[in-house]
Amino acid sequence: MQKLRLVRTEVLAGLVVALALIPEALSFSVLAGVDPRVGLFTSFTMAVTAGLLGGRPAMVSGAAGATALVIAPLVASHGMQYLIATVLLAGAMQLALGLLGIGKLMRFIPRSVMVGFVNSLCILIFAAQVPHLVEHGVTTAAIAALGIALMVLVPRLTRVVPAPLVTVVGLAVLVWATGAAVPQLSGEGELPDSLPGLMLPDVPLTAETLKIIAPYALAVALVGLMESLLTAKLVDDLTDTRSSKTREALGQGGANLVTGLFGGMGGCAMIGQTMVNVKEAGARTRISSVMAGVWLLLLVVGLGETVGRIPMAALAAVMVVVSVTTFDWRSIAPSTLRRMPRSETAVMLVTVAVVVATENLAIGVIAGVIVALMLFARRVAHLAGLARHVDDDQVVYRVTGELFFASSNDLYSQFSYTADPDRVVIDLSDAHVWDASTVAVLDSIEAKYARLGKQVEIRGLNDASAGMHRRLSGQLGVD
């Protein structure tokens, strides 16, 4: 009985996600400059293939805005055939990156960047729904308000049927029964009436072709992996489970290869639809991810006319509630801001600002990571210390802390070269040498004392620091 209940939840969750995928796929097709049917078939192949091969159960993949932004210039300049070749190459690159262990790089994404990633995406999702809510008259706004109310109230009454499904079906029936003139899904683009077929790109197999598609393919591969792995990490946190990031990278590569063979535009994990699946519909397994693709194909090919009558306000209401409930409100609460280090808040705000300004998650995350690294280096740089102690005929400088390019460059100016006696000891017992910059600084200090006829002894190096100093000292061009 419990297994039957699980299967029912997963299958219904897939149906809800499929309904949420349709308008996104259509709008991203327009953004990329391809036929709307290309986006729908892409969401089908990505959802099914990544659902089967990926490392994060219940995560949903499809035609995504991040990849659509990358490929739009290529489609405009070289057409659909070059796009297909690009998607195939991007899939191969993702497989290679997965085998190289790119998933392990997730450990270098700070929490503040993750929070900014989630919050910025929620802002983008909410902003995308606003035109559907306010630009089509009072009736549309009223239907949307009713949809938001249903999304909030239905889970409090029952969880047997997902609230988004009740909302979409209920409002569709209401619009049909009342004959209300509101924008419908069919107005977003043409729905397909046949299945996609296998194809290979009709492009010259030359170095010139590779020169054209390689930069776009690399961008699609990196953007897709970044968004997918970040979404997988978010689902890990929400479900208190772990997933294989390496398998997810390989699964995304396989999904893009399959998508390219069916003439798709490429894609990656979709955080909005994933949140619908996990948070609102309660899905936890691969069944929901695969069924999202299956339901999508059945709905647009077999029931296209009926699905086309779904009011856009109903789908917008679902996504509004998803964005509001997914947003990390605690991250901007006054009590949190007072306790949180300013650097952490700054990283989160930079990530949000860049993503919202560029509408590109990858650029925002990269900007956030760079700012986080800069602020971390600045903090660590101040942890290095220098104490001077004169003992009879020698002076001992005791250096403490982590020595790398940011912290060691200031050391050179902190020595009293002319005032020191002829024997100088630099004690590094409580320090660690991390890079060549520090070795170069130590060489410069020794060289300056030597010009004054003074002798320098460096002592107390731990094994790792001594090994680096031994390899590089005198080899860095310091006079």
Query: Could you give the CA distance from residue 157 to residue 266 in angstroms, rounded to a whole number?
Result: 39
pLDDT at 45: 95
Integer angstrom CA distances of residue 18 from 28, 43, 188, 266:
15, 9, 15, 17
Cα separation, 248 vs 55, in Å, equals: 4
404's CB contacts (< 8 A; 6+ apart) are 377, 380, 434, 435, 437, 438
Residue 472's Cβ-side half-sphere holds a number of Cα atoms within 13 Å equal to 20
Whole-angstrom CA distances from 247 to 14, 244, 324 are 22, 5, 31
pLDDT digits (tens, 9 = 90+) for 74-121: 998 999 999 999 999 999 999 999 999 888 877 778 888 888 988 888
Rounded to 10°, the helix 36-53/245-261 angle is 140
The per-residue pLDDT for range 303-312, each reduced to its tens digit, is 777 778 888 8
pLDDT for 219 beyond 90: no
Contact 39, 266 (CB under 8 A): no
Band of pLDDT at residue 318, cut at 50, 70 and 90:
confident
Neighbours of 294 (CB within 10 A): 18
Mean pLDDT in residue range 38-66? 92
CA–CA gap between residue 210 and residue 95 (Å, rounded): 18
Q: What is the pLDDT of residue 67?
A: 84
Residue 269 binned pLDDT confidence (cut-offs 50, 70, 90): very high
Tell me how far CA of residue 450 lies from CA of 327, 419, 438, 443, 457, in angstroms: 61, 14, 18, 10, 11
Token pair belonging to 311:
């009011």
Given this model, what pLDDT does residue 53 score?
96
3-class DSSP assignment, residue 387: strand
Alpha-carbon distances of 381 from 225, 303, 345, 434, rounded to whole Å? 32, 63, 20, 12
The reported pLDDT for the residue numbered 5 is: 85
- Closest alpha carbon to 91 in 216, 256, 226, 250: 256
Q: How confident is the model at residue 479 (pLDDT cuts 50, 70, 90)?
A: low
Question: Residue with structure tokens 């970044």?
Answer: 226
pLDDT 10s digits, 324-361: 888 889 888 898 888 888 888 999 999 999 988 987 77
| DSSP characters over 246-284 | HHHHHHHHHHHHHHHHTT----EE-HHHHHIIIIIS---
- Written as one letter, the residue type at 259 is T
- Measured at the alpha carbon of residue 314, what is the angle toward residues 188 and 289, in degrees to the nearest 5? 80
Could you tell me whether strands 385-391 and 394-403 are parallel, antiparallel, or unpaired per DSSP bridges?
A: antiparallel
b/e map of 123-136 (b: 16 or more CB within 10 Å)? Answer: ebbbebbeebbeeb
Nearest-CA neighbor of 225 among 255, 263, 262? 255
- Supply the angle between the helices 111-134 and 361-381 in degrees, to the nearest 10: 150
Q: Could you report the per-residue pLDDT of 270-283, keeping only the tens digit for each?
A: 888 898 899 888 89
Q: pTM for the complete prediction?
A: 0.75
Q: Which residues of 438-461 are buried (b: 16+ CB within 10 A; e: fewer)?
A: bbbbbbebbebbeeeebebebeeb
User: How large a percentage of the chain has pLDDT more than 90?
Assistant: 41
What is the average per-residue pLDDT within 146-157? 88
Dihedral angle sign, alpha carbons of residues 334, 336, 339, 343: negative
Q: Side-chain half-sphere of 342: how many Cα atoms within 13 Å?
A: 1
Bigger pLDDT: 317 vs 194: 317
Q: How many CA atoms lie within 13 A of 36 on its CB side?
A: 16
Note the pLDDT of residue 449: 93
**pLDDT of 264:** 93
pLDDT at residue number 478: 59
Residue 190, token pair as written in the block: 């043409």
In eight-state DSSP terms, residue 106 is: G
- Summarize the confidence of residues 145-150 as an average pLDDT: 92
Question: Per-residue pLDDT for 10 more than 90?
Answer: yes
* Residue the block writes with tokens 């969401």: 43
| Per-residue model confidence as pLDDT tens digits over 417-474 | 988 999 999 999 999 998 998 999 999 999 999 999 999 999 999 999 999 999 988 8
The pLDDT value recorded for residue 129 is 84
More confident residue, 135 or 268: 268
Mean pLDDT of the chain: 88
Please state, in angstroms and rounded to a whole number, the distance separating the CA atoms of residues 317 and 144: 5
